[in-house]
Amino acid sequence: MIEVPVVFRYPPLKHIRIHKLGYMVFRDPKFREAFMQDPKKVMDELGLTKEEQDLVLSRDGVRMYDLGVQPYIIFALVWQAFGEWPSREQIAKLGYGRRITEKS
Amino acid sequence: MRHHGAAIDMAKIVGGAAGPHSPVVYKLPWPESPEYVSNMERLRQCYVEVGRRMRELGADTLLVFGADHVQTFWFGSFPQMMLFTGEEADYAVGGNKLMRLKANPELAEELLFGLVDEGFDVGFSQEIEFFDHPFTVPVYWILKGVGDADVRVVPFHVNTNVHPRVKPKRCYELGRAVRRVLERSKRADRVFVIGTGGLSHYPGTPYYGTIDEEADRYILEMMKQGKFSELSDVGYDWLDATGNHELGSWLAAAGAVDARSVEVMIYWPAWNNGYSVVWFVR
C-alpha cells in the first residue's frame, strides 16, 4: 500500500478566490481571453490578494499543489489560463512528473 | 434500429461500456510521436465500435456516469450526485460548445424518483449551462459509431474528483439501484450505460506524467474475473495513490449493466494516462 495524502482534495476555503478564478478559466473561453489580455485586471476584479496573484502568475503548479489548491483548478490555472497543455516538454520544464515512491 | 418482436413492456439496460474522457481523446492539443497518435486513433475507434454495437442493440438512450471537473458546477454548490432531467443540453470541451443533444426527461424523472425511493438522495438539474469533457468526449466518439439513429443522452454526475467523494462501493450500489428502478419501469426505453474517466492519471498534480500500470492491470483483471463488488471495496487512499480516482463511474456503469466480466477493447499505458476502453459482458 502506498502512503499519500488525499490528492483530489477538498478545496480549502482560504483558496476560494483562486478557485473561482480557475473555475472561470476552465469553463469560459471569453474569460480566458480576457485573462490572457490583462491577468491583473481580471484578478483584481475577483479580489485576489497580491500574494494570490503572484502565485497564479508564477504558474508554479507544484507549489500550488503543496499549498493545497485543488488539482483541477491547478490544471486550469497553469495550462488553460495561458492557452497551453501539459505536453511532455511542458511538464519537464515546470517540474512535474513527481513520483509516488513511498511504499509501506 | 429498433428491436421488434418480443414485447417490450419495461425499460431495459441493453449494455454498457467504460472508457476515458480526457480532452486529449477529443483532440490532441500538442505534437506527439507517430506511435502516440496511432494509439490514440485506435482508442477513439474503440469508442466508435461501442457506438456501432450500441446501435445493433437498439439502444435509444445513453446514460452517462461521469464526474464534473469544476466546470459545470462550482464550489458555490457542488453536488455529490446530480441527474439531468431536462429536455436537452449543450456539450463542450473547455467551455467551447460542440454539440447540443436531446435528453430523456421522462425516463430521467422516473429514475430520479426511483433512486430516491431506493435510498439514493440524488439531486436533479432541469437546466444546465453545459456539460464538459467528462461527458462530451466519450459521447462525441460513441455517437460517430451510432450514426443517424435517434439517441438521447442523459448525464449523471457522480463526484469522484473533489474530496469528500462518493465511495466506490456506493457508486457500484448506485448502478445496481439504477438497474432495479429501470427493471420496474413500464417505459419502453432501451438504455445503454457508460462510465467515463480513468484509468491511472494525475491531472493538475505534480505526479502528472506518471501512470500506475500495475494498478490499472489489477483493476482490469478484477473486472475480467467479474469481481466488481470486491474491487469496489478499495478506498480513495488507494485510488488517489494510483491515479484511479475516477473508477467510481466505471463501477456505477458495471452495476447498472450487471456485468459479469469485461472485454478489454484496449489498454494503452501512455506516458500521461493509462487509457482503456472496456465493454461490460453479461
Residues of A with Cβ-Cβ distance to B96 under 8 angstroms: 29
Predicted ipTM beyond 0.85: yes
Query: How far is it, in rounded angstroms, from Cα B164 to Cα B82?
Result: 16
Of all residues in chain A, what percent carry a pLDDT higher than 70?
A: 88
Give pLDDT, residue B15. 97
Question: Before B199, cis peptide (omega within 30)?
Answer: yes
State the best of B70, B129, B271, B273 to mutate against chain A, taking most chain A CBs within 10 Å.
B70
pLDDT band at A104 (very low <50, low <70, confident <90, very high): very low
Phi and psi of B78, rounded to 5°? -120, 105
Q: Decide if pLDDT at A56 tops 60.
A: yes
B94: closest chain A residue by CA = A27
B158 grid coordinates: 457522480
Count of structural domains, chain A:
1
Q: Is residue A82 part of a domain?
A: yes
Per the structure, the complete domain to which residue A59 belongs is given by: 13-93
- List, for residues A5-47, the tens digit of each pLDDT value: 799 999 999 999 999 999 999 999 999 999 999 999 999 999 9
Residues of B with Cβ-Cβ distance to A7 under 8 angstroms: 202, 205, 207, 240-241, 245
pLDDT band at A87 (very low <50, low <70, confident <90, very high): confident
**For A2-6, A100-104, B47-51, which range has the lowest pLDDT when averaged over its residues?**
A100-104
Name the residue among A3, A8, A91 with its Cβ closest to that of B163. Answer: A8
B272: closest chain A residue by CA = A88
Q: Is residue A51 part of a domain?
A: yes
CA distances from B35 to B31, B39, B94, B270 (A): 12, 6, 26, 10
Residues of B with Cβ-Cβ distance to A26 under 8 angstroms: 69-71, 94-95
Residues of A with Cβ-Cβ distance to B158 under 8 angstroms: none
Give the DSSP per-residue string, A9-73.
----GGGHHHHHHHHHHHH-HHHHHHHHH-HHHHHHHTT--HHHHHHHHHT-HHHHHHHT--HHH
Query: How far is it, in rounded angstroms, from Cα B175 to Cα B166?
Result: 13
Provide the shortest C-alpha distance from residue A81 to chain B (in Å): 11
Q: Is residue A41 part of a domain?
A: yes
A29/B95 touch (CB, cutoff 8 Å), yes or no: yes
Q: Is residue A6 part of a domain?
A: no
Domain harbouring A34, CATH code = 1.10.700.10
Residues of A with Cβ-Cβ distance to B241 under 8 angstroms: 1-4, 7, 100
Query: Any idea what DSSP says for residue B57?
Result: T
Q: Is residue A100 part of a domain?
A: no
What is the number of other CB atoms lying within 10 angstroms of the CB of residue B80? 16
- List, for residues A41-52, the tens digit of each pLDDT value: 999 999 999 999
Query: How far is it, in rounded angstroms, from Cα B72 to Cα A74?
Result: 17
pLDDT under 50 in chain B at which residues? 1-2, 4-7
Give pLDDT, residue A82. 86
CA-based angle B143:B146:B150, to the nearest 5? 90
Q: Which CATH architecture has domain B12-281?
A: 3-Layer(aba) Sandwich (3.40)
Give pLDDT, residue B144. 98
A91/B29 touch (CB, cutoff 8 Å), yes or no: no
Tell me which residues of chain B have a C-beta less than 8 Å from any C-beta of chain A. 24, 29-32, 69-72, 74-75, 94-96, 130, 132, 160-165, 202-210, 212, 236-238, 240-242, 245, 271-272
Q: What is the pTM of this model?
A: 0.94
Residue with cell 484496449: B266
Give pLDDT, residue B172. 98
Residues of A with Cβ-Cβ distance to B165 under 8 angstroms: 8
